[in-house]
Structure 1
């Protein structure tokens, strides 16, 4: 990659390395400079501008990031669309993350332009939580380096027999909880322990829990363990287990099982034991399990419920990082990083209540393209994207549009004030969006060239912490267009809009938070409102074919 300062006349097609404030507006770093940008630079009187230009053997930063992320990803991980040289991997569901440290180290050793960062091995991840990110540091990377990273990941995967990064969902759903009781034991202590364990299990998706109370004696507990019928068994004894011959471990052996490990190098959690009876795991919980705070048993329990093997050697290896007792912040990182970003929940609002007033009596949204009405084409583009749901807003008399959307998986809501204009449709769609939505995407239904890739680019760009709270699609040449994604901080403002200007006022008022996101081709600027526009578009499409 060539990097350096050049005269504006030589900058067209290059990537702007440093943001510039010009009289005509701000040009942000990472922007591929168009002829209009070059003219604005010259008009501003700049003699030189710092740019990056890819050489024939380089790969664009987004393409490189996506290629490495695909090579990295294993089961149960979702890949985001790349943006600014970054591609993120998110957990598809609650799981335990397995990370091959050697594979990640090998990937990061190939070339300084290509970086891979992950959560720790065995991190517990929540649905939608970021598990890893691939970042291309410059604006492009050598093709040979990208291919070498992918080859290193593939080679290590063959050697280790697993992907470099994989999520293992919590799969077990039932358990038996054996509680021992000593004479004079307060019932509240028993209840407190059972409640804490149930809460732990519920967090892992284990909801079928059968409780058994028995005397704190080896024989009584052994009988309870032999009769356990869940996917696994937990034991919480009334008195702390202090030896392999104590009641809990001894009961496992007496029930015909085997004891794999007594004790663990994690504090709190030392007094744990792990065994097996007839292929069913038995986990003896330490007394600290009566508290909701993190302890060593949580680490073992997470792996068991995710159907990951846990050996005595695995428990012995937990000593590094196992000092939890005096670290109040420890529960957050062990939970997979409570502060780790998660994939935003995005509701796509398909604004389809317009009256087609300029169509000479035809309905532009029912115009057929490849055998389907345009409204269906627009809905499918959103359904096939990374948006989490699609809400189509139609008018009270739009029976044909409603019928066209049936069976697609789109939620259809009516805008009784459709005659008021687009603002009323935005309000209706926003009211139907879930309260937990992080962002809404406003999509016009008369844009036939918008596809899933355009939407995915906007979702990938959305990052309020980085100042990208509004993401607006732009053409490849930089012209602003649609769709537009708004973060939840703007929901109240959007909900107060009036008239037919849509969200233009919000875009103007918060221009500093608007990120123009380049999307493929000129689709972001192609909307068809008249019979002539439709005819011209069809003619151009036929000519291109």
Structure 2
């Protein structure tokens, strides 16, 4: 491909290198220039322009991106339609993302014009989640470059795939010593059950015995007779050596120790073994807590039928420091989502209910009947059911009527006298009112009655600033919706907004810390701007 400045008389059927403003419109970069485009450029005063001229064997950016994406996409991966030289891959189902790094690196080494980027491997992904993007850097790629990449992908199929979690039965052994409270064992069981529920699995039988190798050996043999898929053992004291109580019991039953210890913190003292073709997991002490740790990393792989070797564990050191901690936190009991919100963070919600609904004519759509009650009550009720610390409703147009329709809800009202100046004024009014100790704020639109409390709780549950999940955006089938949960650190930037705009531009500015949360229903995409839309939906 040749990249140069040429006169307009030579530009037909070349590719425009940079977007140009015309008298009546705009030509976007990457446009294959037609005769009509040349005329518009001339009329707009251009004489020379920068263009890209493909060679005879060059492949256009979209075709090249789609071909490579299709070649590296493996099981349970969807290939999206390419645009501007970019082709995205999304998870077709929930599961564990598995990436064969060696051929992927080989593809990226071929030439700078073709690139493949992915999220971290071996993480849980959700249906519709973006997992990879293939980007062609110039406007076309040499056919030889593309063919080299395709040959690598053909030799190593399934480079990027999603391994679905398989439902498995678990035998669970807990040991006890004198002075260990039964409540600690009960809590450990509760935490493990919650982990297994996420993996669509359950505990078939639990055995509690003394912390003695003979007793543990007996428990292992009993559970093997129950034909469980995986054995998990939680020792009353941490495993300190391969000859300690739990590993000794595994070998006594004819099993083997695959690996003891892992370069992941928390989770260093994990034990992985195998007994009669079944994996045995020795839980590190940190796994008594629901906080993510090394135990979860191994558990996810095993339940997705992804084999784990000693070498796999030893390679986990880079990125294995899951938290930068100066002291060990006390293990948290598995709390309800309500308790998690109340004890671990403070979350506020702002409902924007000040607009005039101009497309509705002289009717305030938030006061229109939707499923037998005013529309504004639906999102308010959803938020109150979501156990938030505070709900703020920003009013403006017909403020008293909005307040009267919500008079039985314990919410905070703030009036925006400047609502006619645009959405930003209502957002700012709400943000200026929230609790100063709030950790995160959910920005809600009043005309989205189908948002559920389960969806709100899911946003809160997945909010984790330490894991670069500071902006949580709900999605349905790959499409982003509302409401969005924001870390409080973005409040100052939002307070600088002007006019009829929200904070959408911040999603692009801080793309690296935006976390998409896949929802089970389309409520996060549904708002209602016309009477007909409301009528059609209720029919």
Which band: TM-score by shorter chain? 0.5 to 0.7
* Contact 2:193-2:203 within 8 A present in 1 as well: no
Q: Secondary structure at the match of 2:314?
A: helix
Provide closer, same or farther for how the CA distance between residues 30 and 464 of structure 1 changes in structure 2, counting only shifts above 3 A.
Answer: farther
Is 1:497 aligned to residue 495 of structure 2?
no
Residue aligning to 2:306: 308
Give the CA deviation at 1:15: 2.4
Provide closer, same or farther for how the CA distance between residues 153 and 239 of structure 1 changes in structure 2, counting only shifts above 3 A.
Answer: same
Give the CA deviation at 1:140: 0.7
Query: How far apart, in 1, do the equivalents of 2:530 and 2:306 lie?
Result: 52
Which runs of structure 2 are paired with 1:74-153 in the superposition (5 Å)? Answer: 74-153=74-153
Give the CA deviation at 1:44: 1.0
Query: How far apart, in 1, do the equivalents of 2:164 and 2:480 lie?
Result: 29
Which runs of structure 2 are paired with 1:146-165 in the superposition (5 Å)? Answer: 146-155=146-155, 157=156, 163-165=158-160
User: Number of residue pairs matched?
Assistant: 353
- 1:15-37 CA-to-partner distances (Å, cap 9, x unmatched) read 22211222212222223333333
Is 1:203 aligned to residue 212 of structure 2?
no
Query: How far apart, in 2, do the equivalents of 1:181 and 1:249 lie?
Result: 16
* Contact 1:198-1:209 within 8 A present in 2 as well: no
Query: Which of 148, 172, 184 does residue 189 from structure 1 map onto?
Result: 184
- 1:343-398 CA-to-partner distances (Å, cap 9, x unmatched) read xxxxxxxxxxxxxxxxxxxxxxxxxxxxxxxxxxxxxxxxxxxxxxxxxxxxxxxx
Query: How far apart, in 2, do the equivalents of 1:198 and 1:239 lie?
Result: 21
* Contact 2:168-2:230 within 8 A present in 1 as well: no
Q: TM-score with structure 2 length normalisation?
A: 0.59
Provide closer, same or farther for how the CA distance between residues 37 and 491 of structure 1 changes in structure 2, counting only shifts above 3 A.
Answer: farther
Q: Which stretch shifts more, 282-291 or 178-187?
A: 178-187
Residue aligning to 2:67: 67
- 1:123-154 CA-to-partner distances (Å, cap 9, x unmatched) read 43333222222110011111111011111232
Q: Secondary structure at the match of 1:56?
A: coil
Is 1:2 aligned to residue 2 of structure 2?
yes
Is 1:242 aligned to residue 247 of structure 2?
no
Which runs of structure 2 are paired with 1:165-180 in the superposition (5 Å)? Answer: 165-180=160-175
Q: Secondary structure at the match of 2:131?
A: strand
Q: Any stretches of 5+ residues in structure 2 without a counterpart?
A: 327-447, 456-474, 482-504, 510-521, 534-539
Give the CA deviation at 1:223: 2.0
* Contact 2:480-2:525 within 8 A present in 1 as well: no
Residue aligning to 1:38: 38
RMSD: 3.2
Query: How far apart, in 2, do the equivalents of 1:499 and 1:129 lie?
Result: 32
Give the CA deviation at 1:14: 2.8
Provide closer, same or farther for how the CA distance between residues 58 and 41 of structure 1 changes in structure 2, counting only shifts above 3 A.
Answer: same
Query: How far apart, in 1, do the equivalents of 2:525 and 2:88 lie?
Result: 25
Provide closer, same or farther for how the CA distance between residues 39 and 431 of structure 1 changes in structure 2, counting only shifts above 3 A.
Answer: farther
Q: TM-score with structure 1 length normalisation?
A: 0.59
Query: How far apart, in 2, do the equivalents of 1:93 and 1:490 lie?
Result: 20
Query: How far apart, in 1, do the equivalents of 2:323 and 2:87 lie?
Result: 36
Q: Secondary structure at the match of 2:63?
A: helix
Q: Secondary structure at the match of 1:318?
A: coil
Give the CA deviation at 1:466: 5.8
Give the CA deviation at 1:108: 1.5
Q: Secondary structure at the match of 2:78?
A: strand
